[in-house]
Amino acid sequence: MAETSLPELVGEDKATPCPSILELEELLRAGKSSCSRVDEVWPNLFIGDAATANNRFELWKLGITHVLNAAHGGLYCQGGPDFYGSSVSYLGVPAHDLPDFDISAYFSSAADFIHRALNTPGAKVLVHCVVGVSRSATLVLAYLMLHQRLSLRQAVITVRQHRWVFPNRGFLHQLCRLDQQLRGAGQS
C-alpha cells in the first residue's frame, strides 16, 4: 500500500457536527464494495477476518507482528500468546457484535495497543474479528480518531478507500459520542 495521505480531508472544519447514523451508513456504502480476507487500511495497519488471524503462515507472509482480536473468547476466535507464541504481540477484546454492547470501553486500550505497535520499527498490526467488518473496523476507526486526530467522517472515508466495513448501529453511536468528545476537547 502506498503511503496514505489525507489531502483535502485534513482541512475539515472542527465545528462540523458528527454525521448522523444515516449519513455514516451512506459513507459506509460508498467506496470499495468488497474486501478480501485482509486489507491494509492505513500504513502497516490491517483489518481482517478470523481465518487470516488463525493462519500463522499467512501472518508471517504479511509480516504481522501484532494482533488485536476484537472477538476474543471461546465463542468466537481463539488466539493469544499460546497460539501465536513469542513472535506476535497479542491483545484480546471480548466484544460481541451486538448494538447494545459497550465497545467504547475498549477504545483507549485498543487504540493505545495499535499506536505503540505502529511506533515500533518494522511492526505491522492485524485487527480482526470474525468477518472483519464491524468490531475490528470500529476499533480501527477509534484508533484513527484518538491517535491520528481524524474526525469520524475522515476515518470512515479513509478506511473505506481500502476495505468494505460496516459497524453495527450501536457501534456507530458510540463512535459518534467519541467524535463529539474529541471535538469538544479540541475546541477548549
Q: In the CATH hierarchy, which fold is given to the domain comprising 21-181?
A: Protein-Tyrosine Phosphatase; Chain A (3.90.190)
Q: Is the pTM of this model over 0.85?
A: yes
Domain range annotation of the chain: 21-181
Looking at residue 16, its pLDDT comes to 63
CB 77 within 8 A of CB 132: no
Looking at residue 187, its pLDDT comes to 52
Looking at residue 3, its pLDDT comes to 42
DSSP state of 72: B
114 by Cβ neighbours in 10 Å (0-12 / 13-18 / 19+) ranks as buried
Distance set, CA 74 to CA 32, 56, 135, 151, 167 (Å): 32, 19, 16, 34, 22
CA 52/CA 26 separation, integer angstroms:
28
Looking at residue 4, its pLDDT comes to 42
Mark whether 129 is an active-site residue. yes
Tell me, letter by letter, the H, E, C secondary structure of 34-68: CCCCEEEEECCEEEECHHHHCCHHHHHHHCCCEEE
| 11 confidence band (pLDDT: 50, 70, 90) | very low
Looking at residue 78, its pLDDT comes to 65
Looking at residue 142, its pLDDT comes to 99
* φ/ψ of residue 40, rounded to 5: -80, 120
Work out the average pLDDT over 173-178: 97
| 1 confidence band (pLDDT: 50, 70, 90) | low
Of 35, 77, 129, 176, the catalytic one is 129
> Which of 25 and 151 is assigned the larger pLDDT?
151
Give the β-pairing of 125-128 and 45-48: parallel
Cβ neighbours of residue 2 closer than 8 Å, sequence gap 6 or more: none
